[in-house]
Structure 1
Amino acid sequence: MTFEPAKRLLAFVLPSSFQKGDVTFFSATQASDFRVPIKPNGQARQLVPTDQLAKGRWLARLQWSDGRVYYSDEQEILVS
């Protein structure tokens, strides 16, 4: 998972067996979390816009499944 601050995008690559997933953004200073569903689109590289996030530190948690096993990855990002 890679955060591209200049483009305000979170980018990651999912395997071809990917069936469903989501990215949830958590912030200690914001009132609510922000969730983005991820659906297969025929591309391995997925892009999630972060322009709706307020400035500050966020924890991005990516969770996905291949239909049998669930996977997870996290990264702290700084939106400025």
Structure 2
Amino acid sequence: MNWPRSIILAFVLFAGLVITMVVISMKHEVNLVAHNYYEEELAYQDQIDRIQNFNDLADKPTIIRRGEEIIVTFPIHLASEIQSGEIHFFRPSDNSIDKKIELKLDQAYSQSFPTNGLGKGLWKTKLRWKSNDKEYFSEQRFVL
């Protein structure tokens, strides 16, 4: 084989590699952290205020994993003043299995959530509630 043919063969192989990588990358699904990412980013000061409100609490709600369930427990004085709230089970690697559940506390000011519907791996619990016209936010990680 002579030099001109070798150079042409190298360019053809390189072009084939580039085209293959472009096709593979076009077929790869990209999961964003949130579908409305830009709107959430613009309103991030509100999120900072929610986190600060949570940090200012003397008694904070707890999120624990016990066996096959996750339990959210509120202190009595906070639970009696909740106007609305939700917990978001967020899977960073696959947003299609995320779950949002409305807070409905029982007489013990807690609520349990089964983990059998959640896949194995890293999860984040995003607890958000409104009390006395103030909003609060807490985030905690756990691994199943």
The answer to whether the Cα contact below 8 Å between 2:69 and 2:112 also exists between their aligned partners in 1 is: no
1:24 is matched with 88
Provide structure 2 residue ranges, at least 5 long, that are not aligned to the other structure. 1-61
Q: Does the 8 A contact of 1:10 with 1:50 survive in 2?
A: no
Shift of 1:39: 2.9
Identity %: 25
- Distance in 2, matches of 1:70 and 1:19, equals 10
More deviation in 28-37 or 50-59? 28-37
Residues 19 and 39 in structure 1, CA contact (< 8 A), matched pair in contact too: no
Residue in structure 1 matched with residue 136 of structure 2 by the alignment = 71
Distance 2:137 2:106 in 1: 19
Q: How does 1:1-80 map to 2 (within 5 A)?
A: 1-13=62-74, 15=78, 16-32=80-96, 33-79=98-144
Aligned CA distance change for structure 1 residues 7 and 40 (closer, same or farther; 3 Å): closer
Q: How far apart are residue 30 of structure 1 and its match? A: 2.0
Deviation at 1:3, TM superposition (A): 2.3
Query: Partners in 1 of 2:133 and 2:118 — Cα distance?
Result: 32
More helix by share: 2
Cα root mean square deviation, aligned? 2.0
Structure possessing the higher radius of gyration over alpha carbons: 2
Shift in CA distance, 6/40, structure 1 to aligned 2, threshold 3 Å: closer
Q: How many residues align?
A: 79
Q: Which has the higher contact order (CA 8 A, sep 6+)?
A: 1
Where do 5+ consecutive residues of structure 1 fail to align? none
